[in-house]
Amino acid sequence: MPNLQAEVLVIGGGATGTGVAWDAALRGFDVVLVDRADLAEGTSGRFHGLLHSGGRYVVKDPVAAAECVAENAILRRVIPDCIEDTGGLFVTTPDDDPAYGDRFLAACQDCELPAEEIEVSEALGREPRLNPGIRRAFTVPDASIDAWKTVWALARGASAHGARVLPYHRVIDLHRDGDAVTGARLRNELTGEELDIEAGFTLNASGAWAAQIARMAGIEGVDVVPGKGIMIAMNHRLVNTVINRCTMPADGDILVPIRTVSVIGTTDIRAADPDELPVTQDEVDQMLDDGERLVPGFREARALRVWAGVRPLFQDARVGEVKDTRDVSRTHAVVDHLARDGVEGLLTMSGGKLTTLRLMAQDIVDAMCAQLETDRPCRTAEVSPPIDENEEPYRLGARLRRREETLQEEQLICECELIGRRKLEEAMRRRGTANLDDIRRTLRLGMGPCQGGFCIYRATGILHGVGDLDGAEAGASLRNFLQERWKGVWPILYGDQLRQARLDDWIFQGLLDVEHLPDGEARPA
């Protein structure tokens, strides 16, 4: 059995885990990061893209709000290429109590959040699609942040400082040696091979799955309340500013312009299992109604895709049953297993949000340093992870400008998201993947209006060549992509998207007849 050794094992490759790996690697630790699947495939890949100004929490959760205010500014400084400064608006819709706006403003002041009331006419001038019936409007420094760019930037940064980043490596057991956690057993999900890793310290950054991981070390009662929320991406930017409902946090009260889409979110329903996140029709209807409240005509606009994410809300089992997941604080906590359970060498991060990823990483790595009695200061508030020259900064028009430059030289493979052939081939080679879904996550392949109708056959053919797959594997990858895509599409299949689906059915089933591809072994994905 092959062995790995590291000073620090980080479990979880989302924003938290990669943030932790980056922080620890910057402090000179030798880090291995593992995730059972692709990076950012958990909660980070499924949120709405909002870099919180904190406005949403000022009244109800001022601790979380203050964290957001500070971290928002820091992230804009250290990872500016992952962030689009859309600005944000809090608006009082006809269904909201106008007096709340005063509480809101006061609470913003208390948290030092720079919010400002503006004329409704100015807000409507900025955002013509907004509900003309809004009664008050406030600006806040919300922004949209690209989770995949962020996660990969942090992972690359960690690698540049010597960390080993291992997606598709599932933790199947943690090693206990008496009262210490000494490492883990991993399974490479692509090859089936098992390997052991010896690690001086293990940081459990697995978010909604934290309890499952802790249990492998024999630790019970780390109760993560999985708070499921659904989000719907609308086909184009109905708004260019983040729109929040100015009211106590409710469902469907955020509309985020991110990349080429606008995302309405979200619900808040306790889920039993973080891997079982069904999207219900009621939730979809509710999101559409909520969207209609913010943007009249929302129901006639085109819904592109729906998905569910799960928030890792920590509720210490010994404190009491949680009733409404909206009441659970959105701040985070380091679970110190030495103090709580008498187990050393393991810390669990619980709670939190993507906006505070850096602070969460700082807190858990600080706690680890304290336990190790070593004094290594955190530098992530000053140092930026290295920029990938091949990636363009996160601006909506960046791909359009880039394509304009290569118009006469390069084939466009994914037309909706403006992905050229060279870029696609590079990504395939770099990832060494046989899975089109992995490419989808990093490049947004097939994430546009046609949902892969035109690009996926092309990408399959290219993958077959570049990835050195055989036809069976290529076909399996194609089928897998279609099934994964379908999951996010069928609950919102009406109107324009139904037309698209029919055309795509025509292409994949009528024209290409994917259904009758001869069976073959797919590479595990």
Partner 1 sequence: MSHHDVVVIGAGLAGLTAAVRLAEGGARVLVLAKGVGATHLSAGTIDVLGYAPERVENPGEALSRLGDGHPYGLVGTGAVAASLEWLKARVAAGSLAPYAYEGGLEENLLLPTALGVPRPSAVVPETMAGGDLRRRAPVLVVGFRAFKDFHPALLADTLRRTGTPARAAELDLVPEGRADVNSLGFARAFDDPSFRAEVGAQLIGRLRADERVAFPAVLGIADPHGAWSELERRLAHPVFEVPTLPPSVPGMRLFAILREALRRAGGRMILNSVVTGAEREGGRVGALRVRVGLREERRGCDWVVLATGGFASGGLELDSRWTARETALGLPVAGVPAPGEERFRAGYFEEHPIARAGVAVGSDLRPEGHENVLVAGATLAGAEPWREKSGDGISLATGHRAAELVLDGVRQPAAAGS
Partner 2 sequence: MDVLGELMRGSLDHCVKCTICETFCPVSNVTPLFPGPKYVGPQAERFRVGHEPSFDASLDYCSGCGVCTQVCPQGVHIAEINTQARAKLKETNGVPLRDRLLARPTLAGRLGTPVAPLANWSLGNRPLRAAAERVVGLHRKAPMPRFAGRTFQRWARGHTSPPAQRRVVFFHGCGTNYYEPRLGEMTVALLEHNGLAVEVPKQGCCGLPLQSSGLFDDARGYVHRLAARLAPYARAGVDIVATATSCSLMLKREAIEILGMEDDPELRVVSERTFDICEYLLAMHERGELRTDFRALSETVTYHAPCQQQGHGIGKPALDLLALVPELRTIELDATCCGIAGTYGLKREKYDIAMKVGAGLFAQIGDAAPERAVCDSETCRWQIEQATGVRTAHPVEMLHRASGLA
Which residues make up the interface to partner 2 (CB under 8 A)?
Answer: 124-125, 128-129, 235-237, 240, 260, 297, 301-302, 396-397, 399-401, 403-404, 407-408, 415-416, 418, 448-450, 453-454, 496, 499-500, 503
Question: DSSP state, 344?
Answer: B
Contacted by 418, from partner 1, partner 2, none: CB < 5 to 8 Å by type: partner 2
**Token pair of 424 as six digits:** 């696609």
Nearer to partner 2, 109 or 121 (CB): 121
Residue 503 contacts partner 1 per CB under 8 A: yes
Q: How far is the CB of 204 from partner 2 (least distance, A)?
A: 40
Nearer to partner 1, 109 or 483 (CB): 483
φ/ψ of 49, rounded to 5, equals 95, 15
Distance CA 308, CA 306 (A): 7
Residue 266 CA to chain centroid, in angstroms? Answer: 14
Contacted by 449, from partner 1, partner 2, none: CB < 5 to 8 Å by type: partner 2
Residue 443 contacts partner 1 per CB under 8 A: no
Contacted by 416, from partner 2, partner 1, none: CB < 5 to 8 Å by type: partner 2
**Residue from 454, 476, 477, 525 in contact with partner 1 (CB under 8 A):** 454
Residue pair 390/427 in contact by the 8 Å Cβ criterion: no
**Residue from 110, 273, 511, 524 in contact with partner 1 (CB under 8 A):** 511
Within 225-284, the residues that bind partner 1 by CB under 8 A are: 281
Neighbouring C-beta atoms of residue 320, cutoff 10 Å: 8
3-state DSSP assignment of residue 7: strand
Nearer to partner 2, 124 or 472 (CB): 124
Residue pair 198/30 in contact by the 8 Å Cβ criterion: no
Binding mask 415-434 for partner 1 (x = CB under 8 A): ------x-------------
At 440, which helix (H) or strand (E)? helix 436-443
Nearer to partner 1, 125 or 461 (CB): 461
Contacted by 475, from partner 1, partner 2, none: CB < 5 to 8 Å by type: partner 1
Contacted by 128, from partner 2, partner 1, none: CB < 5 to 8 Å by type: partner 2
Residue 404 contacts partner 1 per CB under 8 A: no
Nearer to partner 1, 300 or 389 (CB): 300
Q: Which amino acid is at 204?
A: N
Contacted by 470, from partner 2, partner 1, none: CB < 5 to 8 Å by type: partner 1
Radius of gyration of the chain (CA): 23
Contacted by 514, from partner 2, partner 1, none: CB < 5 to 8 Å by type: partner 1
Residue 495 contacts partner 1 per CB under 8 A: yes
Q: How far is the CB of 190 from partner 1 (least distance, A)?
A: 21
**Residue from 445, 475, 477, 525 in contact with partner 1 (CB under 8 A):** 475
Q: How far is the CB of 302 from partner 1 (least distance, A)?
A: 10
Neighbouring C-beta atoms of residue 11, cutoff 10 Å: 30
φ/ψ of 18, rounded to 5, equals -70, -35
Residues 6+ apart with CB under 8 A from 165: 13, 18, 21, 33, 39, 155, 158, 159
Q: Are strands 3-11 and 194-204 parallel, antiparallel or unpaired?
A: parallel
Residue 389 contacts partner 1 per CB under 8 A: no
Nearer to partner 1, 216 or 489 (CB): 489
Neighbouring C-beta atoms of residue 193, cutoff 10 Å: 12
Nearer to partner 1, 125 or 495 (CB): 495
**Spatial CA neighbour of 209 closest among 271, 146, 158, 150:** 271
Residue 405 contacts partner 1 per CB under 8 A: no
- Give the CA angle between residues 363, 365, 368 to the nearest 5°: 110
Residues 6+ apart with CB under 8 A from 311: 43, 208, 226, 227, 228, 229, 268, 325, 353
Helical ranges in 164-256 per DSSP H: 210-216
Please count the residues of the chain.
525
Contacted by 401, from partner 2, partner 1, none: CB < 5 to 8 Å by type: partner 2
Residue 514 contacts partner 1 per CB under 8 A: yes
**Residue from 458, 476, 522, 525 in contact with partner 1 (CB under 8 A):** 458
Omega before residue 266 within 30° of 0, cis:
yes
Distance CA 327, CA 342 (A): 30
Q: Are strands 169-177 and 180-188 parallel, antiparallel or unpaired?
A: antiparallel
Q: How far is the CB of 482 from partner 2 (least distance, A)?
A: 17
Block residue for tokens 């929490």: 57
**Residue from 231, 254, 261, 303 in contact with partner 1 (CB under 8 A):** 303
3-state DSSP assignment of residue 29: coil
Binding-site size for partner 1 (CB under 8 A) equals 55
The burial of 62, by beta-carbon neighbours within 10 Å (0-12 exposed, 13-18 middle, 19 or more buried), is given as middle
Residue 460 contacts partner 1 per CB under 8 A: yes
Contacted by 337, from partner 1, partner 2, none: CB < 5 to 8 Å by type: none
Nearer to partner 1, 3 or 281 (CB): 281
Residue 516 contacts partner 1 per CB under 8 A: yes
**Spatial CA neighbour of 364 closest among 329, 331, 340, 336:** 336
Nearer to partner 1, 323 or 516 (CB): 516
Block residue for tokens 């036809």: 471
Which residues of the shown chain bind partner 1 in the complex (CB under 8 A)? 281, 285, 288, 299-300, 303, 407-413, 421, 454, 457-458, 460-462, 464-465, 470-472, 474-475, 478, 482-483, 485-487, 490, 493-495, 498-499, 502-503, 505-507, 509-518, 520
